[in-house]
Structure 1
Amino acid sequence: KIARAWLGAFPKDDAARLALLRVLLADGRSNEALGHMQALLEQDGGPQMVAQVFRALADLPDGAARLDLLQQLSRQFPKNPYVFYYLGLMAKEQGKVTLAVDAFDRAIALDGNWRELELMQAQVLASIGKLQEARKVMDKMTTRYPQDTNVLSAYVDMLAAHYQWQDALPLALRWQELQPHDSAVRQLVAQLYASAGNFPAASQAFRELLDARRIDLNSYLFFVANAAERAGQTDTAVSMLGKVSKDSTRYLQAQEQLALLAFRRGAYDSAQTRFAALRQDFPDDAQVLDTYLIEAAQLQQAKQWKRLETLLQEALARYPDQVDLLYVLAEYHAARGQIEDAAAQFAKILAIDPANIDALNAYGYLLLTQTDDAEKAAQLIEEAIKLYPDSPAIQDSYGWLLFRQGKTEEALSWLRRAYAAYRSNEISAHYIEVLYATGEKALAQEVYRYERQGQPDNTPLKEIGKKLKLNDDKKK
């Protein structure tokens, strides 16, 4: 009533109309709110007013309704680039990446000299695997704005996120030239050398940080050890990690890394002995549970089933009904083909914690992929996506369900959302397969190429590459 009285007394006062707009949105009255949005933008369609309208939308509890209002505004103001920018921004936040790309494209067509908008467009393109298109946008930007550290930072982050470390290095070095005393940039350069497998350059860069007292000795040892490992110099890595002092905050990480290196060499006894020692040295329950889970993941990856079974028995004896351990036990049964036992463990987790989204999703995915109970699988996965539509793992399962049901285009939409948010495990492989099935074979090949570079041990990626002969395409 107060807001209406204010606007009634001052009908041309933007502050009064914005106040009423926020009240209406907080009350969920979208249709009436839309009329006031239109009135505000008809009076002033500039960037500040559009930004205020966008901020007001945060008062509307329903995210889908917020997005719908912006879509309606974009249709009513088709020549306003700011409306399309904020539509793209909200669509990106909600994982609607296709809508975000289209909105940013429209905004750039209306105003091609908007630096932040171009950055957003490139980031969204990269998030759905269109890295080459994104790089074209970023190359133009770094040419136009060679000293803009925000542009350089965004480009470096994009390339590093897609495992293009060697290509990111010249940009990071340019950034370092512009900010030579920024220790975070110098450390980024050192990490990029390490990721790219250039051990001499990484070692030198970390040494310079140590000499300048930007990192301590134990951090230096830990970082150089990781660089040595990336370069295949395992003996050097082991030697450096062994020198990290026990009173250092890096000690736990160093010991875990030594155990992981032992796993990779197949020295399972040595690796497990190290984890057992860590549980003695760090008896805090959270740390102990963490080491159990890391060790179990390594044993599962190595298919050391007897060792894993023994470890889980020990862990569950110490932490009965701990849901993370029960989840690993369910995965163990599933991997061994013991479907009924796996299903029983997932059901047990849900009895303990009915809101456990990981178990709900994994149970449905297990039934979908390893049983003939498609109806039950669909029921569980559809329940999960209704409850948690923003979870990448559930988006992936739901997309895969749709793909198995023959709804390929709808499946691609959900898998694209999942991939944009999280690219590990089976998500990348599912996205690649459905891209290929919908005819986007070149994009499937592009995504496969850099995901395999960054995730060489990802079994689902290896399998999809073999199934679709993507490695053969690469050789050609």
Structure 2
Amino acid sequence: MTKPPVVRISRLLSALLLAFGLSACASLSSAPTAPSHASEPAADATPEPDGDEIPADKLPNQPLTSELLMRFLVGDIALQRNQPQLAAQTWHDLVLKTNDPRVARRATEVAIGSGQLAIARDDAQRWIDAVPDSIAARQVMLSLLIRANRLDEAKPHMQALLAAQPQEIAPFFLQMHMLWDKNTDREAALRLTEELTTPYPQLAEARFARAVALANVGRLDDSLKELDEANRLKPDWEPAILYRAQLMGKSSTPQARIDYLQSAERRVPKSMALRSVLAREYVEASQFAAALKVYDQMLVLQPNNLEALMGSGLVALQMRDLDTAEQRLSRATELAPQQTGNLRYYLGQIAEERYRFPEARDWYQGVDGEFKPAADKRLVRVLARLGDTDGALALLKTLPAETDEARVANLQLTASVWREARQYRKGYDVLGEGLKRYPGNADLIYDRSLFADLLGDYAESEAELRRYLALEPDSVMGQNALGYTLANRSTLADTARLAESEKLLNAAIVKEPDNPTILDSLGWLRFRQGKPAEARALLEKAYAKMPDPEIGTHLGEVLWQLGDKRAAQKLFDAARLLDPQSEILREAVQRLGAQ
């Protein structure tokens, strides 16, 4: 169902939602012997409306005979012995014998707790018959009717509740949609909503309730008309603005929603909710700079706004602004450690990319929930990079391997462990065994090409990359890898190979124009073509986006040739600081005679 954003829950709605959960709250093993209130909330829940004590004149003059006492005991003993059906039936019989509203209330609790909802409805009705003014009884009955999808029978109970609590009418209509779930009869929900809201034509919240109900049966034009009326009654009313933007998602372009929200935000400049939705729309439209600007504005007003910290951090990460991403995401985890477990995964990525492997290990080890499998995979590589080969292999054995895809991924991880341990032959052999089991697997072929290169078999490395691209001709990763390989293994005289390299890299950069690894490859190609000035511009752009040791080494070599040896040495030093074991750096420094 189409549901608008949730705002603060009204007391009436809270009580109804609590009543929905009675089956989970009513204990079958330790129920008290005295009747207790059927809608008694948890200690931290919204308190039940006052004034629901059963008046003395509503209590029957019923003596407590030995027979009744025995039946009470049977009902409670059945609960204690985990015989819920017997307990519900026994308490139901007691209602029939006593007509006591206290017994009816207790019987309703027991029937709900045991899942006997038909009996619960009968008991709740007898509770209402005995005490028509009982708010709690109406709340429980209403929840039972909604759960049973008997909405046509719910009207009198809802009317009674609204009449008893007129201060709750507006907030209840604003959030009425929260009572329905995916199994609710949408047409019945619309009928009930229209009947309940008819007496309140000048109430914006009533119009809003109709708009939601109409949208849920696909009548979007009528829904928008109700929202127009709500905005006439309450100009620039935030809930109506936000819900209209949500409905626009079904029939408009992302830019149309952005334009609408921008206009609304100018009229309601202090609305954090509007800014939050606008920022998310920018993200959906891949307008990341605009999204980050909105999040920044939110943080100026509320520096500890969790959504803005998380949203801006993830957007900054997408934009490769690692400083901002790290600062915002770290702050979010500090403010709400229990709600931000997934952010540790991204913080681990940032630390890993900056070659802070002990820190990356700590972040990945702290990930739980849905991101834990992905974090564990990255943790394998980090442990290997830290020299803990045994730990990496031990963790790898715990990873799921129930599908061919998972088993191939684990083979790739195993090879990466041996790569970090500089046991290239072992990694190559792991991939070779994998290709025997999964012949023609493109991922294994690609990885084996890298190991062939590490082993000095450049002809096989190139052949495997060509084999990979034959299987995945549109792969940016493959185009970049073969393009770089051809450039790196060619001289100015190898015009055909350099031309092929340029063709591959141009195809890749068109698809991902801001990818720093492709920019690096293009820069290196220009250098090999004898165009150091063009190479410098491309490599500086790549290094600004990703200050990786390999990119820094390439840029340093270009600057060295251009005569700026001091700047080149600074880049070599920075690369060595990040990755002291970099083979590309070591080879370049030795060849150039640098330090």
TM-score (normalised: structure 2): 0.45
Q: For residues 237-281 of structure 1, what are the alpha-carbon distances to aligned partners after superposition, in whole Å with 9 as ceiling and x for unaligned?
A: 2233333361237965334322332234542333356568x69xx
Q: Using the alignment, how far apart are the partners of 1:169 and 1:424 within structure 2?
A: 24
Q: Taking structure 1 as reference, are residues 196 and 214 closer, same or farther at Cα in structure 2, changes over 3 Å only?
A: farther
Matched residue count: 350
In structure 2, which of residues 393, 408, 412 is the aligned counterpart of residue 222 of structure 1?
412
TM-score (normalised: structure 1): 0.55
Partner of 2:519: 426
Partner of 2:432: 242
- Alignment partner of 1:270 is 2:460: yes
Q: Taking structure 1 as reference, are residues 83 and 248 closer, same or farther at Cα in structure 2, changes over 3 Å only?
A: same
Q: Classify the secondary structure of the residue corresponding to 2:238.
A: coil
Higher relative contact order (CA 8 A, sep 6+): 1
Q: Taking structure 1 as reference, are residues 234 and 427 closer, same or farther at Cα in structure 2, changes over 3 Å only?
A: closer
Q: Taking structure 1 as reference, are residues 53 and 424 closer, same or farther at Cα in structure 2, changes over 3 Å only?
A: farther
| Structure of greater Rg | 2
Partner of 1:14: 208
Deviation at 1:452, TM superposition (A): 3.3
Question: In the alignment, residue 125 of structure 1 is paired with which amino acid?
Answer: A
In structure 1, which of residues 167, 174, 182 is the aligned counterpart of residue 366 of structure 2?
174
- Alignment partner of 1:55 is 2:246: yes
Partner of 1:45: 238
Partner of 1:204: 394
Partner of 2:570: 472
Deviation at 1:55, TM superposition (A): 1.5
CA RMSD of aligned residues (A): 5.5
Deviation at 1:214, TM superposition (A): 12
Answer whether contact 2:227 2:244 (CA < 8 A) is retained: no
Deviation at 1:90, TM superposition (A): 1.7
Deviation at 1:109, TM superposition (A): 3.8
In structure 2, which of residues 502, 518, 528 is the aligned counterpart of residue 331 of structure 1?
502
Partner of 2:282: 91
Q: For residues 319-347 of structure 1, what are the alpha-carbon distances to aligned partners after superposition, in whole Å with 9 as ceiling and x for unaligned?
A: xxxxxxxxx85935x99xxxxxxxxxx9x
Deviation at 1:69, TM superposition (A): 2.0
Question: In the alignment, residue 191 of structure 1 is paired with which amino acid?
Answer: R
Question: In the alignment, residue 452 of structure 1 is paired with which amino acid?
Answer: P
Q: Taking structure 1 as reference, are residues 88 and 253 closer, same or farther at Cα in structure 2, changes over 3 Å only?
A: closer
Q: Using the alignment, how far apart are the partners of 2:547 and 2:417 within structure 1?
A: 20
Q: What pairs with 1:364-383 in structure 2 (closer than 5 Å)?
A: none
Answer whether contact 1:203 1:224 (CA < 8 A) is retained: yes
Deviation at 1:91, TM superposition (A): 1.9
Q: Classify the secondary structure of the residue corresponding to 1:246.
A: helix
Q: Using the alignment, how far apart are the partners of 2:233 and 2:349 within structure 1?
A: 37
In structure 2, which of residues 470, 486, 492 is the aligned counterpart of residue 300 of structure 1?
486
Deviation at 1:227, TM superposition (A): 2.1
Answer whether contact 1:60 1:66 (CA < 8 A) is retained: no
In structure 2, which of residues 536, 545, 548 is the aligned counterpart of residue 453 of structure 1?
548
Q: Using the alignment, how far apart are the partners of 2:517 and 2:335 within structure 1?
A: 34
Question: In the alignment, residue 156 of structure 1 is paired with which amino acid?
Answer: G
Q: Taking structure 1 as reference, are residues 182 and 98 closer, same or farther at Cα in structure 2, changes over 3 Å only?
A: closer
Question: In the alignment, residue 300 of structure 1 is paired with which amino acid?
Answer: L
Q: Classify the secondary structure of the residue corresponding to 1:69.
A: helix
Q: For residues 295-354 of structure 1, what are the alpha-carbon distances to aligned partners after superposition, in whole Å with 9 as ceiling and x for unaligned?
A: 8435423344898958x9xxxxxxxxxxxxxxx85935x99xxxxxxxxxx9xxxxxxxx
In structure 2, which of residues 245, 268, 280 is the aligned counterpart of residue 77 of structure 1?
268
User: Gaps (5+ residues) in structure 1?
Assistant: 1-5, 27-31, 313-327, 336-345, 347-357, 363-390, 394-418, 431-443
Question: In the alignment, residue 238 of structure 2 is paired with which amino acid?
Answer: G
User: Gaps (5+ residues) in structure 2?
Assistant: 1-193, 524-538, 575-595
- Alignment partner of 1:119 is 2:214: no
Identity within the alignment, %: 14
Deviation at 1:85, TM superposition (A): 0.9
Partner of 2:160: none
Q: Using the alignment, how far apart are the partners of 1:294 and 1:473 within structure 2?
A: 24
Q: Using the alignment, how far apart are the partners of 2:484 and 2:424 within structure 1?
A: 18
- Alignment partner of 1:189 is 2:379: yes
Partner of 2:126: none
Q: Taking structure 1 as reference, are residues 266 and 296 closer, same or farther at Cα in structure 2, changes over 3 Å only?
A: same
Q: Using the alignment, how far apart are the partners of 2:556 and 2:235 within structure 1?
A: 51
Q: What pairs with 1:93-112 in structure 2 (closer than 5 Å)?
A: 93-112=284-303
Q: For residues 378-437 of structure 1, what are the alpha-carbon distances to aligned partners after superposition, in whole Å with 9 as ceiling and x for unaligned?
A: xxxxxxxxxxxxx753xxxxxxxxxxxxxxxxxxxxxxxxx4xx444229999xxxxxxx
Q: Using the alignment, how far apart are the partners of 1:213 and 1:61 within structure 2?
A: 40
Judging by fraction of residues, say which structure has more helix: 1
Question: In the alignment, residue 459 of structure 2 is paired with which amino acid?
Answer: D
